[in-house]
Structure 1
Amino acid sequence: MSTSYAAGLAFGIVTALIIFALVWKFSKKTMKGKFDERQELVRGRGYKYASFTLLGLITLDLLAESLGAFAKLPVTRELALFFIILTGVMVYALYCIKNDSYFGVGTDYRTYRAVMWVIVVCNAVSAFSGLRSGAIVDGKLAFGPFSALLFVLAFAIILISLSVKQRKAAIEEAEEDM
């Protein structure tokens, strides 16, 4: 292991620990919210839809594996499974955002969005550095760089949907005040 690689790895680990400690400290104060009964019901339906999505996609994955489709696809099996997991998470998150139960009552949205932007930026840096140094292995998309890219896309979609939902709410509130 080269010295520069070890130094970069150590710096990355220390930076991640510092960010984790700060997020953990501030999340105790700003990110705890209570959910009312309607929100709990919506979240339960969101879990149900996400679970059924996962079951359906895993069934398709097993069918594709048994038919030998992964030998023909330019995607590794690991990346396909990761995509399935992220799809389930996205179904849950987007359903909850759509039905106003993503955040609890009294949750500070700015802190939450700031944490999500940090996740997006860190994964974007990881994805682009990984894409430059070996994104395709044996003719297939490698798990490492493309999993980070999938994270960037998933969290960007969540952030965009949160922004759209909050803007719609602000417009509706302004129209009610008139």
Structure 2
Amino acid sequence: MPHVPTTVAIRLLTASDAAPYRTIRLEALAAHPEAFASAFAREQDKPLAWFEERLTTSDVFGAFIAEELVGVAGFWRQEGAKTEHKAVLWGMYVRPDARKSGVGRRLVDALAAHAAERVEQLQLAVVSENAAAIRLYTGAGFVEYGREVKALKLDGRYFDEILMALFFDRSGK
């Protein structure tokens, strides 16, 4: 594995990060349309204010190398008395030049630490063909708990999603 850059900074994004967030989000949707429930066509014409609001109302982490946003991952806590103990990791993307350097793992670890203070489990769905992402999540402690067959459909082709969860023991045992 390549050396992890020492200049990687992970932090929550704010409305002031909307422009670079919009750029990386659209890049992710265009480059890997099969990996996201949303679509490039849905988000490409959204005004910058839409992305600002998303960053104001959501917990989205960014990975920066030399002030450049190279990766993102979102945290969404489920609502409702019976499900608020769970959250979802969504929108994970690392630019190709930053892959295999540990940036993705740092993003996942930061988001998991954030989640551990707020919920009992962190869930995600990953396209079954994305072996690199599955290795990343498994290495971070996620376990598979199911599969959604034909979860996404793109251009007439179906993609299954592996459902994974990371459980936090909040009992201290």
- TM-score tier (shorter): under 0.3
Q: Comparing both structures, which one devotes a greater share of its residues to strand?
A: 2
Larger RCO, structures 1/2 (Cα 8 Å, 6+ apart): 1
Instruction: Please say which structure displays the higher CA radius of gyration.
Output: 1
Q: Structure 2 length as normaliser, TM-score?
A: 0.27
